[in-house]
Chains A and B, each alone.
Chain A
Amino acid sequence: MAKLKRAGIARIDYSAEPTTTQLVGKSLTQKALLTLRRDKLTMLALGYIIVLTIVSLLAPFITDTIMRVDPNEPVPANKFTPPPVNGYLLGADDIGRDQLARLLHASGVSMGIGFFGAFFSLSIGLLLGMAAGYLGGVVDDVLNWLVTTIDSIPGLFLLIMVSALFSFSAQSLILVVSLIGWTGTSRLIRGQTFSIRAKEYVIAAQAMGANPQRILFQHILPNLVSITVVQLALSIAGLILTESGLSYLGLGVQPPQATWGNMLTNSFQYFRHGPHLIIFPILMISVTVLCFYIIGDGIRDAFDPTLQR
């Protein structure tokens, strides 16, 4: 996985360097970035996600050094403390753990599942989709069979079956969603690769004797960047929701490891004791998911040449 990740990023960075064939793409990207910068809604969403990411990365530091609380330390005597009393800024949960601390730690886990799950499934989808679209023939047929097979089993059924197999941890959940979540991306990328392969400049490059790797990574991949980024944003949003849904069915990441999903699931039982236990997790989930949706839409619009003015 690590190897794959390195390769992916390096190539994308490289593609940003100006080359003669990239001039057109470059100016499209510039235009897109300009459009994006003017799109206040998208920028706002992006800002929120960046801040949230930083905060959740720093969560252990914040809770240990600044707040000085252990998110998993129960203090039964303080259960259901409403916010903001006794130093519990967002109140305490059903066994008296600090909700703010737990939410911070949960952010890391939920966002991590979303980000890494989306990243890995996207990487798989991107690679296999490009392979299918560019190579065609038997490779395409086999991959197409695999994609259709996995797609034909309703996703949630597959998730439930697989999550009964693995123990419930954030890592195994990432593994599971990566293994079954790549098919949509693969379909999309295959189609795109297929159409780009037929474009004049690719044919020209082929005629000039460029090897397939060069064509794939220098000519085709850069053109897939925008669509991939959009897909990444939407996948993260989808996975955050999936994580919480699985928690409701009792098949998600298990406590004491806090996630937004299992915090929300637990909270409904106690809504008469502490509505704050519902409000904050649900806000975290929906605002974050909403922001990813907005970002996805914004980028899509920005990169759509027909929409650029």
Chain B
Amino acid sequence: MKLARRFMLICPLLTFALLFLSLPALTQDVGSGGAIIEPNFGDDPTTFNPVIANDGTSNDVIARMYPDFVGVDSATVQYAPGVKGALVADWDISEDGMTYTFHLRDDMVWSDGVPITAVDVAWFLDAVLSGETSSPRQELIDRVQGYEIIDDHTLSINFDEANCTLISTLAPVTPVPAHIFEEVYGDDYAGMDENEYNLNPTVTGGESFVFANFRPGEQTTLLANPDFTDAEMGAVIPEGWVYKVVTDQVVQMEQFFAGDLTFVDSVPQANRADVKERGAAGEFQTYETPAGTIRFLSLNTADPTNPQDGLDEDGNPIDQGRHPILGDARVRQALNYGINFGEVNEGAFFGTGIPVASHVRPTDWSFPAGLEPYPFDPDKAMQLLDEAGFTDSDGDDVRECNGCLYAEAGAPLAFTAKTNAGNTSQEALYTILQDQWNELGFDVTVEFVEFGTLISEFTAQTYDAIGVFWGLATPADPNGIASIFLPEADVVGAGYNTQSFNNPRLNELIEAARLVPGCDVDVRKDMYGEAYQILRDESPWIWISTGDVLLAAQDNVENWSPRPGGSRWNIDAWMVAEQ
């Protein structure tokens, strides 16, 4: 009621003001569409300063109130010129492929009316390239050699090499209001962290909303941006957006069912069937799209008792020993053949899992035709184990090493798989896998470990097998995840080739695919295709599954029409009708 009354006052005023500014004619009034309430199951945002923001929650809020530099097309989930809410209208690449010239739009303004220009991008680059900020973006620092402001709306960036992933290298770049940041932060980039402005930004813009306030532990509130030029309906319809903290997942879904939340971006597995059913009955709107996460089990191929880096100072391989059990590719393959995915899917994922053969989704451009997940074939698995020299000679249903490659004679075919505690689907998954693998004659121990402890073991490379799940970069960056398996990334305590995998052909392919002259998509696709096949066959990871995510919104949200890239792409057009 109170809101409605305030509306009666504000709306005519706003309309008048906007007409006065002679903006495009409005089909609907700004902020007439109620408040969007989105649940935040996690921590508070840490900062609203795009230069240092490093966590998902902060970036979620920043994405609602700062423009992108190069945008991602919500339909194709690829970087594209002239995307809604992005500053870059188009770009040219120099002949040597090392200089990119970006043409910026000239119609975007900050909330204080100052136009968004190349200077705003330059401020971000200056800060990051100084290398002094607390969240260094090393990839950016390594690649970007310099930039040049050609005019207010043209900017060129020079790189150190002509590789094919330079646009995704620029993903963190976000224009920031230089006139304000200069005043607030100056050039003290290292001291940026402790500035109070980080949580109280006064000037935002270029996206659907502008910053209103942040209540720690409760919510972050943004209000409709009256100056958002890309609004689908001519003006931002919702009055505001609240990122509301709900810390219990059961309660979160109950709040959604009770209508306290406008939409849920990822319905928990336990509620999937229910929400779908009620969605079909017209209670909610629902949408399914491939998930951006992948579950894998990393298999340590090197000796876990003596972790070593992959390469020495001069780039020569270091002998890391072999894992007694998992060092043999045939054992790793046997584990893959031993997975009855149907049972896993039913038991752990409510039938929503999709078996995968790689960390790229079949829908991604680099996915090769014919790359298939391992079939469930226990006979093949047992045959591989026999070949690897693991047979059950004492009749205790556990195989022992009888002429195997790396384990001592008589050692049981045993290893410990660890995963993060407190995640029911991971717990269910590994309980079932343990059961399936033990059928083959393994003696698998499963441990659920607190996340911090798990990660420290993971990076220290002292484990047998560790299962986690990882969010994939959007848009897909085939180079990004493939680089995990390069020996350069095998650094104890720091790199992510914790499985100490080293395959010369793979290393060659990944390096070459990055540097294909002209970045011919077909050539790169062939190279990545071969690389993925090697990874699948050699199996340093067991790629277990990805899945669909189910998005759901209340029935009274008009214009809610998610795309493969998510539902928020047209959040400025949503209208939350009074129920």
Contacts and interface: CB of A to CB of B under 8 A. Distances in A.
Interface residues of A, number: 26
A270 interface: yes
B431 A255 contact: yes
B216 interface: no
Given A74-B431, A254-B427, 4 more contacts: A79-B346, A95-B428, A164-B450, A256-B427
28 contacts: A72-B435, A73-B435, A74-B347, A76-B344, A76-B346, A76-B347, A79-B347, A94-B270, A94-B424, A95-B431, A163-B450, A164-B452, A164-B453, A167-B453, A168-B448, A250-B421, A250-B422, A254-B447, A255-B427, A255-B431, A255-B448, A256-B427, A256-B431, A266-B424, A268-B250, A269-B249, A269-B270, A272-B270
Nearest to B430: A256
Interface in A35-88: 72-74, 76-77, 79
A270 B425 CA distance: 12
Given A76-B346, A168-B421, A266-B424, A272 B271 contact: yes
Interface in A164-214: 164, 167-168
Contacts of B449: 167-168, 254
Interface string B411-453: 0000000000110100110011011000000000011111011
Interface of A: 72-74, 76-77, 79, 94-96, 163-164, 167-168, 249-251, 254-256, 266, 268-273
Interface of B: 249-250, 268, 270-271, 274, 343-344, 346-348, 421-422, 424, 427-428, 431-432, 434-435, 446-450, 452-453
Contact of A76 (B271, B343, B422): B343
A163 B452 CA distance: 12
A95 B347 contact: yes
A74 B432 contact: yes
Nearest to A257: B448
A79 B270 CA distance: 12
A79 B428 CA distance: 12
Contacts of A163: 450
A271 B446 contact: no
B468 to A, nearest CB: 15
A165 B160 CA distance: 45
A249 B344 CA distance: 26
A76 B348 CA distance: 8
Contacts of A266: 424, 427
Nearest to A250: B422
B344 to A, nearest CB: 8
Most buried by A among B268, B427, B452: B427
B346 A256 contact: no
A167 B431 contact: no
Contacts of B270: 94, 269-270, 272-273
B250 A167 contact: no
A254 B448 contact: yes
Nearest to B268: A269
